[in-house]
Structures are given as C-alpha cells and as structure tokens.
Amino acid sequence: MNAFLSYIREFIRTIHPGLTLFCFGFAALLVFLNYRYAIEPRVVNNIPNRLYRFLCFYLVYLTAFAIPYLVLFAVKGKVTEWKSLLLLVLVAPGIFALKVSFVGISQIIQDHSSGIWGRYAAIVANLPSKLLVVLLPLYIVWRAGRYGQPFFGLTVKQFEWSPYLLMLLIMIPLIAWAATQPDFLHTYPKLKQVRFIGDHTRNPWLYNLMFEIAYGIDFITIELFFRGFLVLAFLRFAGPEAILPMAVFYCSIHFGKPLAECISSFFGGLLLGLIVYQTRSIMGGLIVHLGIAWMMEIGGYLGHVLRSK
C-alpha cells in the first residue's frame, strides 16, 4: 500500500494542475449530461443502424478523449511528435467504438443456429470475439510504433501479487454494500443473461462457468486497450499526463452502468493508470479488474437471493 501512496504523490507532483482540474471537471460534466439526458442507454443504444450506432459511439468517445488532449496541447505548448499523437487520438475512439458495436461472430451464430443453444453460443462468443477486434489494430500500432516494452504491458517480470490482493480485500465491504442497491441489482449479475440455459442441461454450473470465463475475457480487452494502449503507447507523447485523458475516456464507457460505478470508474482508471505507468505492466490492473468483476457477479447473485427471501 505504501507503494501506491508513493505513486499518487509522485503523480501529483509531476502532472500539470490545470489539466488535472480540467479533466476532473470535464468528466463530471460528461457524467451529469449522460445521466440527466440518458445519452447512451436511451439514445445511442437504441439506434438500429449499425453504422450510425458506431458513429455515435465514436463521437461520444472522441469527445471524452480528444478534448482533454486539446487542453494538454494548450497547457504544455509543444508536444513531442504531435502529428503521430493526433493520429492516435483520432484512431483510439474508433477502435473502441468498433469493439462496442461489433456483433459479427454472434450474428453469424444466430444466423446459422436456432433454438436455445444457438442463443447461448452467441452470447458466450460475443466478448471473446471483441478481444480479437481490439487485438488486431493494437498489434499493428505496436509494430508500427516500435515500442520497446512487451506487448502493451503483458509481462509479469518483477511483478508482486500481494498489493493487488490486498486491494481486492478492501473492495469486499464496498461491493457488499453495493449489492444492496436496486440499480446495482438491476445490472448484476451479468450471468442472468444465460439463466435460461439452466432448464436445458443437467450441468448448469459448467455453462455458467463458461459464461463467466467469457465475461472475464472482456477485462483483458479493457486492460490492453485502456492501460496498455492509452497509457503505455501515449507516454512518449504526453508523459504521465496521458493517464488523465485515459481516465475520462474510461469513465465514458461506463455511461450505461449504475451511477456510482460510473463515477468510481474515473478514479479507478486513474489508479490503474498510475500502476501501469510505474510498473509498465497491466497485470496488476488485470488482477484488480477481474477480481472486482467476479466479486460483483457474486455480490449480484447473493443480493438477489437475499431479496427473494
């Protein structure tokens, strides 16, 4: 825990205070506008045309990501390799908008398989297929950019597990409290998407486990993109300040989640970004993210069980 506190102190000393204040205020403004007018859950998600839906997601993510970088340009003046940075700033929201909008493999399964098992396979295949959608452009960027570190922080070299396990222990009472809230229970557990399969198999636990593994794969995608790409690939241009636009972008992908989860995602993004910046590894963030995600699944399940009694 002392290491995390030192990370935070060093970060506060090195980043531009004006950019920090702007990003905090800008994230708050975006959260207010989304939850006041339901921009993502009621507008973007209900667009039937896939191209238009992609473009709307791109606009939301571009706004969240590019505007902090415009402020970064303003407060820092000359930025190293600014043309390359501008290109990546424009491309990054497109990669994630494609990930969110992509239904390719699931659609193929639905078109060629009917009934309960086809529906189940389409749901389980959805998130792993999105990892591939993100992985390909990230690999191209990594090769083209000639980055020296392992592929966007995928390394366990000199990695210590214990601090991250302690962080998960600290999260247990917070998740236990969240599991009593109606908006949390409306969203979790995600496992309820495949609850129907329990009536069609003698081993529902096996198919539930397969879903949870597929659900966990999505957090590999998230960590690779937000911490591996948006921090490590942008350090050469923006230094530690790259963490701030990443956190705003990361907050924006939670607009469809409960309000408390969306707000906490901004601060969680900052902390995970700090860890990656200091360690050059996404493994710590991956452990925390996966652990919290699966604990929220358990919390959601137990919350529903207790409410039903």
Residue 88 has a pLDDT of 93
Segment 10-22 shows an average pLDDT of: 87
Residue 11 has a CB neighbour count (10 Å cut-off) of 20
CA distances from residue 109 to 125, 190, 212, 293 in whole angstroms, order as listed: 9, 21, 19, 26
Are 187 and 301 a contacting pair, CB within 8 Å? no
3-state secondary structure 267-293: HHHHHHHHHHHHHCCCHHHHHHHHHHH
Cα separation, 296 vs 121, whole angstroms: 23
Of the ranges 113-127, 183-197, 201-215, 227-241, which one carries the lowest mean pLDDT score? 113-127
CA distances from residue 226 to 50, 111, 137 in whole angstroms, order as listed: 24, 32, 14
Of the ranges 76-80, 93-97, 206-210, which one carries the lowest mean pLDDT score? 76-80
Cα separation, 90 vs 6, whole angstroms: 33
Cα separation, 229 vs 19, whole angstroms: 21
Q: Is 113 or 257 the better-scoring residue by pLDDT?
A: 257
Share of the chain above pLDDT 90, in %: 42
Segment 114-143 shows an average pLDDT of: 88
CA distances from residue 247 to 23, 66, 155, 240 in whole angstroms, order as listed: 8, 12, 22, 12
What is the model's pTM?
Answer: 0.88
Quote the radius of gyration of the chain (alpha carbons, Å): 20
**pLDDT band per the 50, 70, 90 thresholds, residue 158:** low
Share of the chain above pLDDT 70, in %: 95
Q: What is the pLDDT of residues 37-90, one digit of tens each?
A: 888 877 677 787 888 889 999 999 999 999 999 998 888 777 777 888 899 999
DSSP string, 25-76: HHHHHHHHHHHHHTIIIIIGGG---HHHHHHHHHHHHHHHHHHHHHHHHHHH
Cα separation, 170 vs 116, whole angstroms: 39
Q: Which residues contact 138 (CB under 8 A, 6 or more apart)?
A: 95, 152, 224, 225, 228, 229
Both structure tokens of 60:
């939301």
Amino acid at residue number 248: V
Are 207 and 194 a contacting pair, CB within 8 Å? yes
